[in-house]
């Protein structure tokens, strides 16, 4: 490996700032402070790492806390729509559940995954102080996601025959079709929202999205109540309200970008440069989408397999309770995933290998501690926790039996999503996609089916197999992450930014 001096000489001209904005330079002075502390051999090891940990914790929680809040709000918006649909009737509840947890979650995962390309490039560009490129990356991603939205619209339009083909009754499929039609505008809100969200997160601008999401939730609940009970528009009405609420979030965030001084250097108007380099950007976006979707589908397969067991109703009820609890705790991990991605990408772009490596250690440790605390609570309440959802003692016993596996899942979810965030920050999406295929679908699913059906372990066996795949994936990501040459990752960040940066400045609107 080349010496540090030679490496600095190579990287210095490539990472020159493109603006002298005082608002943005202050942020980089803070990041420089962390790197300087970690490089200061005059301080004792204890003093050096104590000071560095305090700085990293402040930076991390500033990102993670609002991110957790935003994802919780998104979760609550969809859940409240299902609640209002359920009060319209059992058929409407089944239709909204199918539309939300089946078709809509597919689009959500795909769009969120593709938006992670912005997370990598914007984070590294912001760290490198190439501020003008952040707006270009935002626009490129929005273009690609909008085109993807057109293809998804076709799936939405033909959702009824698709659902019937998958075995759903014609009555439920017909009701779900109406609900899904109202979600078509939501697809294109996703296409704009996720690039904007990642654009803001890359600059450590997180609280505006939280405020806008909180206000939107209030509007969403009120409008859903009016549409469902006062106007009587039924399933189509409540799903259209959900789409409208997502567009409120999109417009609110974009107005903030246009008006905020913090985005003055990173958003310079619509540019024709957004239409160049779409091929390479598409490859990174697809790799990001595949990485996330493989994880999302993996746990949906758990539920599908449970429906094939000898006592499917009990298996599905107990698993649905456990996965709901896991989903809520997982929102915390997703927040730390976003924080890890932003912190690592910013530090790599800023040419701070020590800070990037240190950030990985701190965010992984904190996320694991929080997950371990949640796991302990779950084990302590294992015999009573199901009564929040149902009064049935048989289901309660089944949930209690699954709680040790739920606790183990929470522990793994304290590490695995954070390491996935590190992968996004470094631009390793394609590699992680291959790892996910091997661990989840070559090991996890077959092992779960073998234990659940052949060895007659039921839902517990299916879940054990799934945990085996997740555990293998987590160990591989830990091995790769903690053996990473962070100086080399800085070089890779430079190459990536130069690959997608165009020198001509062609602005259509300032």
Query: How many CB atoms lie under 10 A from the CB of residue 162?
Result: 18
Q: Same domain for 251 and 308?
A: no
Task: Give CA separation, 220 vs 209, 242, 503, in Å.
Answer: 16, 7, 44
- What is the C-alpha R_g of the chain? 23
> What is the pLDDT, as a whole number, of residue 208?
93
Q: Same domain for 360 and 213?
A: no
CA angle, corner 139, sides to 421 and 249, nearest 5? Answer: 70
**Considering the entire predicted model, what is its pTM?**
0.80
Give bridge partners of residue 271 from the DSSP assignment: 507
Judge whether 444 lies within some domain: yes
Pick from 225, 247, 276: which residue ends a domain? 276
Task: Give CA separation, 239 vs 243, 252, 268, 392, in Å.
Answer: 6, 20, 35, 32
Give the helix ranges, DSSP H, for 276-392. Answer: 278-306, 312-349, 353-380
> What is the pLDDT, as a whole number, of residue 503?
43
Pick from 276, 300, 328: which residue ends a domain? 276
Give bridge partners of residue 507 from the DSSP assignment: 271
> Which of 307, 472, 462, 314 shows the shortest CA–CA distance to 394?
314
The low-confidence residues of the chain, meaning pLDDT below 50, are: 1-23, 25-30, 503-510
Provide the domain count of the chain: 2
How many Å separate Cα 117 from the centre of its chain?
12
> What is the pLDDT, as a whole number, of residue 302?
72
Which domain covers residue 85, as residue numbers? Answer: 63-276
Longest dimension (CA), the chain: 73
Q: Same domain for 329 and 376?
A: yes
Task: Give CA separation, 107 vs 180, 259, 430, in Å.
Answer: 11, 30, 20
> What is the pLDDT, as a whole number, of residue 30?
46
Judge whether 9 lies within some domain: no
> What is the pLDDT, as a whole number, of residue 31?
59
Query: How many CB atoms lie under 10 A from the CB of residue 403?
Result: 23
Pick from 226, 244, 276: which residue ends a domain? 276
Would you call 230 exposed, middle or buried from its count of C-beta atoms within 10 A (0-12, 13-18, 19+)?
Answer: exposed
């Amino acid at each position: 490996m080349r010496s540090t001096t030679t490496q600095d000489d190579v990287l210095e001209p490539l990472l020159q700032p493109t603006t002298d904005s005082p608002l943005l330079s202050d942020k980089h002075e803070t990041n420089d402070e962390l790197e300087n502390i970690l490089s200061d051999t005059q301080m004792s090891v204890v003093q050096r790492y104590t000071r560095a940990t305090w700085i990293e914790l402040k930076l991390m929680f500033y990102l993670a806390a609002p991110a957790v809040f935003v994802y919780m709000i998104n979760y609550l918006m969809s859940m409240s729509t299902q609640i209002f649909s359920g009060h319209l009737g059992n058929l409407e509840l089944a239709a909204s559940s199918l539309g939300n947890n089946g078709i809509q979650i597919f689009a959500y995962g795909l769009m969120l995954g593709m938006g992670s390309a912005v997370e990598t490039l914007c984070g590294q560009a912001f760290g490198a102080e190439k501020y003008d490129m952040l707006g270009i990356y935002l626009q490129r991603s929005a273009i690609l996601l909008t085109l993807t939205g057109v293809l998804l619209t076709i799936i939405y339009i033909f959702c009824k025959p698709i659902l019937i083909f998958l075995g759903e009754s014609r009555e439920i499929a017909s009701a779900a079709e109406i609900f899904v039609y109202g979600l078509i505008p939501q697809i294109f809100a996703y296409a704009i929202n996720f690039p904007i969200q990642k654009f803001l997160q890359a600059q450590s601008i997180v609280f505006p999205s939280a405020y806008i999401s909180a206000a939107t939730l209030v509007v969403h609940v009120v409008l859903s109540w009016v549409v469902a009970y006062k106007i009587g528009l039924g399933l189509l009405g409540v799903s259209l309200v959900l789409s409208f609420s997502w567009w409120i979030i999109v417009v609110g965030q974009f107005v903030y970008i246009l008006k905020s001084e913090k985005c003055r250097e990173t958003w310079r108007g619509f540019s024709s440069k957004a239409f160049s380099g779409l091929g390479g950007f598409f490859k990174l976006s697809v790799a990001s989408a595949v990485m996330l979707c493989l994880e999302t589908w993996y746990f949906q397969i758990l539920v599908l397999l449970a429906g094939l067991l000898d006592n499917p109703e009990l298996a599905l009820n107990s698993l649905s309770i456990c996965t709901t609890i896991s989903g809520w705790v997982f929102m915390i991990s997703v927040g730390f995933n976003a924080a890890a991605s932003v912190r690592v990408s910013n530090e790599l772009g800023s040419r701070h290998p020590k800070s990037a490596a240190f950030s990985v250690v701190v965010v992984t440790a904190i996320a694991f501690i929080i997950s371990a605390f949640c796991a302990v609570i779950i084990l302590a309440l294992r015999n009573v926790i199901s009564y929040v959802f149902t009064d049935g003692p048989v289901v309660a016993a089944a949930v209690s039996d699954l709680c040790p596996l739920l606790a183990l899942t929470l522990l793994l979810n304290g590490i695995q999503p954070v390491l996935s965030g590190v992968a996004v920050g470094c631009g390793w999406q394609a590699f992680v996609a291959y790892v996910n295929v091997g661990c989840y679908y070559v090991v996890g699913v077959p092992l779960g089916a073998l234990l659940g059906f052949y060895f007659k372990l039921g839902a517990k066996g299916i879940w054990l197999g799934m945990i085996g795949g997740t555990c293998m994936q987590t160990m591989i990501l830990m091995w790769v992450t903690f053996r990473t040459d962070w100086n080399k990752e800085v070089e890779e960040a430079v190459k990536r930014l130069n690959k997608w940066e165009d020198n001509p400045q062609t602005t259509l609107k300032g």
